[in-house]
Chains A and B, each alone.
Chain A
Amino acid sequence: MQESLVERARAGDEAAFRELYLQHRGAVARLVSRMMGPGPEVEDLVQDVFLHVYRSLPSFRGDAKFSTWLYRLTVNVVKMYFRRKQSRPKLTLGTIPETKSDERTAGRPDEASERAERIEALYRVLDRLSEKKRTVLVLHDFEGLPADRIAEIVEAPVLTVRTRLFYARKELYAALAEDPALAHILEALMDSLPGRPKQRRSASSRRGATTPSPSAQPPASTAERSSDTGGAA
C-alpha cells in the first residue's frame, strides 16, 4: 500500500504526493517540534521537509523503509536549520501551544503558563546537548524508536547510538538537577524518595496556618463517582 503510494509519487502522481503528505504530516510535525522545541519555526520546517520529500522522492531507491527515509530527511532538515541559524532559537512562553484538553477544560492561564514554563525548561536543557546527542535522545525517548532504527536514520553504528544516548541522558539529568526553574519540583521528587534526611521534611510539616486537611486522601475512584459531577460536566 505504502510502497505503491511511494511508487506513484516517484512517477509524478500529484495525488500520491498529497496522500503521502496527509499520512505523514503529523509525525513530521511532532518530530520537528520535539527536536526544536515548540515555536513558530516548526511550521516552516515541516513545509521544508515536505518540499524536500517531493524533490528527493524521484531519487528514493527504496533501500530503506519510506518512514526511515522520511525521519532521516526530517532530522537533516532540522540540522540544516540549526547550522543556518548558527545558534538555536530561544524559546518563548507565548509560542507554546496548549494541548487540546486544556482548551476544552478552559484551564486557567496561570496553570497553562506554569506548564509552559516546565516545557520551556525541558527544551532549554535539551538545547544544551550536542546536536548528535539530542537527535538520538529525541528519536529514542520521544519518538520511541529502537536503537537499530535510529542507527539507520543517523547513519551511525548501533553501538555509537547507544553511547550517545547514554551520555545524552547523563548530561540531561545533571542539567535538570541544576535548573533553577525546576528546583521546586526536583525538591518535591527528592522528598518522595526513601530515606530523606529528617530536617528537610520537618520544615515542611511543621505547624502551619494553611494545612491540607487529613481527609485529603484520594478517594480516587470514589471521588469521581460521587454525586459532585455537575461542575465538571
Chain B
Amino acid sequence: MTRERQTDHSPKTAALLALREGRLSDQGRARIERHLKACELCRRHMAAMDLFERLREEAMDMEPEVDWNRMELPLRREARRIARRQRALRTARWALPALAAAAAFAFFWLRDATPSPVASTTRSETSEAPEPVPAPATTPSDAPTFPAPIAQVVAVVGEASARSAPSDPERPLFAGSELLSGEIVQTPPGSSIHVWLREGTAFRLGSDSRLALLSLGDHVLLELQRGEVHSQVAPLTPTQRYEVSNGAQWVVHVRGTRFAVRRLDAALAVDVTEGRVEVTRGGERIAMLEAPSSWLPPASSVSGESATKPSVQLPWIPPGEAPSRWTLLTLPLVEGIEGWEAVGIHAAGAPLQLRHPRGPLTVYALGKGRRRIPLRLQLTGERLRPDAATLEGLADRLRAEPVGHIDPRAFARAVGSLSPALKRCHRRALKEDPSLAERTPVRLVARLRVGRSGMARVQRWRNQKGAPPAIPPSLLSCLSEAISSYPFPRPEGGPVLLDLPIRLDAR
C-alpha cells in the first residue's frame, strides 16, 4: 500500500476485531492479512488491540487495596439505624389498627357498663386491660462476645502455647483460644500467632518469641521477654493505654498506631510505620518517635534513629466485634503444599489456622519455587478444613505449576527485539563507570516469570556459577526494567519460569 493511501485510510476496527477473534472466512482472513502486511496504520491498530488485552489482564490481576476495617463501624451504625427504623415502621403499621381496635372496644365496653363511678373504677382496676402492644422481637444486640480482659487468638501459623506461670504446664493455642491477663504466650522458631484484643487492636507475636500479657482491657501492658511483637492499635480514648515493656525499665507507650518492638538483650528496638510512640526508661522519656521511624536504644552498637526502613508485619485484625461466632479455618500442610497465605498472613513451611467471618475467602497454597495456587472458599458453619481430595488436587497443581509453554521460535524473536534496550542499559552503565569495560564480557542469567499476559518479571539475577552477579545494581535495575516492560509472547496454559542468558561485551 502506498503512503498516500495510508494517510487517508482509517483502520477498520470491526474487520481487525473479526480477524483477531477468528470470525473471518479463509478468503476474508487472507485479504485482511495481506492488507496488514503493508498497512502501518492497521498494524498499529492491531498492536493496540493486543496491547489493551495485555494491559487489561494486568489490571485485572490487581486487587484493589481497601482497608475493610475502616468502614466496619460506619456501616454497622447505619445498619443499626435502618434496623431500628424498620422495626419502628413495623410497629406503627400494626400498632395503629391495634390502638383503634382497643379504643372501639373501650367505647362499647364503657357504653354497656354500669354508670357507677365506683363500680367503674373497680372494674377498670380489676379488669384485664387490653394487651399492651408488644414490642416487636428485637434481635440481640451485637454486644461484644468476650469481656474486655480477655484476648482471643485469631490466627496461628505453625504452633504456639500459653501458660499462666513459668512453672505451669504449657497449653497449646489454636485459632479461637482465649487468653487471660497474666498468661505468657510463646512461639517456637518458624511460628507466629495473631491475637485480637479489641476492635481495631491486635498484635502479632513473631517467630521464637515470648510475651507476658501483664494486663488486658483498657490498660494493655505487654512484657516482651524474647523475640518481637508487632502491634496495630486503634486510637485510644484518654482512659486507655497500650504499652510494651521489656520487663525492666524500658517501656514503649502508644496512641493509635502501627509499630513493632524487638527485644535486644536488655533493651528494646522500635519500628513505627504509623502514628507516634514514646519510649521511656525508668519513667523518663528517651525518644518520641514519629512514623516512619526505626529506632535503636543508645546503648546498642548502632544507636538512635536507624537508617533502615521501618517494618511492621501487621497482625490479622478480623473486622467487627464477634470473632467467636466465625468460621475456624484450618489449612494443613500436606505433601506438595509447603505453606499457605491468607488475609496477609504468609505461613511458609507451617500450617495456618484462622478465624474469619463467614462468606467467600481466597487463600493461596504455596509450593516450591514461589509457586502458589489460589483456593476459593465459601466459609460457612463453625469449622472448615479443605478435604483431602481438594488438598491433593492443589498439591498436584502446585507440582505442575507453572504449566505454561512458550513457543521457542516466538520467544527467540522477542529476545532479538529486546536486544537494543539491553544494549542501551549497558552503554549507560559504561558511561557512568568506565571501569566496567575491564570486567567484560560478563555473563548473566535472568530467571524470568512470564505471566499469562506475556509480561515478564525478573525474579533473580545470577552469574554463570549461580552466584549474585558482581555488576552495578543500577545496570541490573535497568536490565530488569527493560525486560519487564517488554511484551513476550503469551505462554499457553499458564505462567512460565525460564532462564534468559545474557552476555555483556564492551566491544
- Residues in chain A within 8 A of chain B (CB atoms): 11-15, 17-19, 21-23, 25-26, 29-30, 32-34, 38, 42-43, 46-47, 50-51, 54-55, 57-58, 96-97, 99-101, 104-105, 107-108, 110-111, 114-115, 118-119, 121-123, 141-142, 166, 169-170, 172-174, 176-177, 182, 184-186, 188-197, 201, 203-205, 208-221, 223-224, 226, 228-229, 231-233
- The smallest C-beta distance from A112 to any residue of chain B, in angstroms, reads 9
Please, how many angstroms separate the alpha-carbon atoms of A79 and B33 in the complex?
Answer: 41
* Chain A to chain B contacts (Cβ below 8 Å), 16 pairs: A12-B82, A12-B86, A22-B357, A23-B359, A25-B68, A34-B60, A50-B75, A122-B55, A188-B417, A188-B486, A204-B420, A205-B417, A208-B423, A213-B502, A217-B409, A232-B460
- The smallest C-beta distance from A13 to any residue of chain B, in angstroms, reads 6
- The smallest C-beta distance from A227 to any residue of chain B, in angstroms, reads 10
Contact of A173 among B13, B410, B462, B507 (CB under 8 A): B13
Contact of B364 among A47, A100, A177, A213 (CB under 8 A): A100
Residue of A nearest to B425 (CB): A210
Please, how many angstroms separate the alpha-carbon atoms of A14 and B457 in the complex?
Answer: 46
Contact of B70 among A22, A23, A43 (CB under 8 A): A43
Contact of B426 among A18, A32, A210, A233 (CB under 8 A): A210
Contact B502 A212 (CB under 8 A): yes
Q: Which residues of A contact B417 (CB under 8 A)?
A: 188, 191-192, 201, 204-205
Please, how many angstroms separate the alpha-carbon atoms of A162 and B316 in the complex?
Answer: 44
B438 in the interface (beta carbon within 8 A)? no
> What is the interface size of chain B, counting residues whose CB is below 8 A from a CB of the partner?
115
In chain B, residues 30-75, which have Cβ atoms closer than 8 Å to a Cβ of chain A?
Answer: 33, 36-38, 40, 43-52, 54-56, 58-68, 70-71, 74-75
Contact A43 B66 (CB under 8 A): yes
Interface of chain A: mostly helix, strand, loop or mixed: helix
In chain B, residues 223-239, which have Cβ atoms closer than 8 Å to a Cβ of chain A?
Answer: none
Enumerate the 5 nearest inter-chain pairs by beta-carbon distance, A residue then B residue, closest first.
Answer: A195-B37, A12-B86, A97-B65, A33-B64, A22-B359
Please, how many angstroms separate the alpha-carbon atoms of A224 and B498 in the complex?
Answer: 6
Contact B498 A11 (CB under 8 A): no
B503 in the interface (beta carbon within 8 A)? yes
Please, how many angstroms separate the alpha-carbon atoms of A99 and B62 in the complex?
Answer: 5
Q: Which residues of A contact B64 (CB under 8 A)?
A: 29-30, 32-33, 38, 42, 97
Contact of A186 among B44, B346, B421 (CB under 8 A): B44
Contact A111 B45 (CB under 8 A): no
- The smallest C-beta distance from B149 to any residue of chain A, in angstroms, reads 26
Residue of A nearest to B55 (CB): A122
Q: Which residues of B contact A142 (CB under 8 A)?
A: 56, 59-60
- The smallest C-beta distance from B217 to any residue of chain A, in angstroms, reads 26
Q: Which residues of B contact A114 (CB under 8 A)?
A: 481, 484-485
Contact of B341 among A11, A104, A123, A141 (CB under 8 A): A104
